[in-house]
Amino acid sequence: MLDKIILKIEKNIPEKWRGILNHDGFKRYFANTGWMFLGQVFYLGVSFLVGAWIARYLGPNKYGLVSYVIAFTGLFSFIGPLGVDGILNRELVSHPEKRDELLGTSFRLKIIGSILAFVTATVFAFIFNGLYSLTSWLIIMFSVSFFFQAPNVIATFFYAQVKAKENIKAQIIAAVASSMLKVGLILLGGDIIWLLIIYIFDYVWQAIFLVKFYNQQGLKIRSWKFEAGLAKSIWRDSWPLMLSAIASFAYLRIDQVMIGKIMGETAVGIYAAAVKITEVFYFLPIIICGSLFPAIVNARNADIRAYYRRLKNLYVLIGVLGFLVALPIMLLAAPVISFIFGSQYLAAVPILQIYIWSSVGLFLGAVVNNQLMAENRTRAVFAINFTAMAVNVVLNIILIPKIGLIGSALATLAAYSIASIWLLFFGVIKSRKKY
């Protein structure tokens, strides 16, 4: 299907540019990005529609409780990957001959991280929500999902091989199965506990099919090898990324946790509706950067000028894309909220009008992270994310008691702008000769 699209495009462009479309590298990356885009549109479309139905079914209070549980658990999800994914992607591109050693070692590290994540989430759930609180036990139950995320090393392998199609197939199958169960839950009048169990099985099904598709490539998990020396090497590069992930997940989720503690679960439900709409578009920079990251790494190794040209073009593309997403959503916030979530969530309109602009900073931040990863500047990634986290937490503490949910949206907008500020002062200005 994607080949036919390329042929149709080729017929309508000047002949001097057709050589680009005929280039094997272009076709490979275009097809990879196309699969990621189409797959994510389907996955997010189904997930979003079913998620909106769930929000209507539960109402702001119960939806707020579910959102709080997921956000609280998300604060500790950084521990599971141990910052391995970015390093693994880079190493698989640079050293494909070490595939089994890299995957086996990374998988073992992720299992260790999952155990640590589960224990840490359990301890903090009891500290912040009480030993006998339903919320604490819901958090512990949902934390079981950490253990099913270790097989995601296979997804990283497929991305490094520019074979996003396999990841997308696993994701779509899991989404369809999960969505059918969620619809059944609504029709049968199920409660929150069963809903969270279905959310856990999102990860289970995806892990199962990733393994299946890996085997279909003629590769076997039993060939994976753990090497202590390689583990130390990966950890040496990945620990700053894990610290960065702490900050990243914190400023992504801390707002909902703080709202829950200060304003209650209904406020979390209202705020989560605005967040849900904004997050629909987060797949765009992930797909574009994830698909082009191998090409960027290869360009840096072969031609530094080509590397910086590609980065410049990517920054412009992503920045414009973020603006084109934010402006119409801001202008149409009221009808969008009313149509998707219903009148009971109309209080989310002013939140969405502010929060949606954070997508511009987040989009640019995705490119910044990929650039720093390509340059092995993991400490800079940590510095950016830690600064963003600190800004978000401090502003939430100051603004939520004074202006409520609007304050939290402003805090998030400020935090997401940190990557853009870094890009302006340390990226473009310092690298202007190279760009």
The one-letter amino acid at 114: S
d(CA 122, CA 127): 9
Most trustworthy range by pLDDT among 14-28, 81-95, 263-277 = 263-277
pLDDT band per the 50, 70, 90 thresholds, residue 16:
very low
Token look-up 């890299």 returns 102
What do you get for the CA distance between the two ends of the chain, in Å? 35
Q: How many C-beta atoms surround the C-beta of residue 311 within 10 A?
A: 23
pLDDT band per the 50, 70, 90 thresholds, residue 435:
very low
Taking residues 313-332, report their average pLDDT.
92
pLDDT at 259: 94
d(CA 305, CA 288): 21
pLDDT at 421: 74
pLDDT at 277: 93
Most trustworthy range by pLDDT among 35-39, 60-64, 241-245 = 60-64
pLDDT at 322: 92
* Residue 260 pLDDT greater than 50, yes or no: yes
Closest to 431 in 3D by CA, of 291, 288, 310: 310
* Residue 164 pLDDT greater than 90, yes or no: no
- Residues 119-159 have pLDDT tens digits of 999 999 999 888 888 999 999 999 999 999 888 889 888 88
pLDDT band per the 50, 70, 90 thresholds, residue 36:
low
The answer for residues whose C-beta is within 8 angstroms of residue 393's C-beta and 6 or more apart is 250, 251, 254, 258
pLDDT at 20: 46
* Residue 389 pLDDT greater than 60, yes or no: yes
Closest to 255 in 3D by CA, of 406, 89, 125: 406
d(CA 76, CA 94): 30
Integer Rg of the chain from CA = 22
* Residue 383 pLDDT greater than 90, yes or no: no
Closest to 273 in 3D by CA, of 366, 337, 367: 337
d(CA 56, CA 343): 10
The per-residue b/e assignment along 31-57, b for 16 or more CB within 10 angstroms, e otherwise, is: bbbbbbbbbbeebbebbeebbbbbbeb
Q: C-alpha distances in angstroms, 83 versus 13, 68, 113, 237, 374? A: 43, 24, 10, 9, 15
pLDDT at 9: 46
pLDDT band per the 50, 70, 90 thresholds, residue 4:
low
Least confident of 21-30, 188-197, 312-321: 21-30
Q: How many C-beta atoms surround the C-beta of residue 161 within 10 A?
A: 16
- Residues 85-100 have pLDDT tens digits of 878 888 888 888 888 9
* Residue 217 pLDDT greater than 50, yes or no: yes
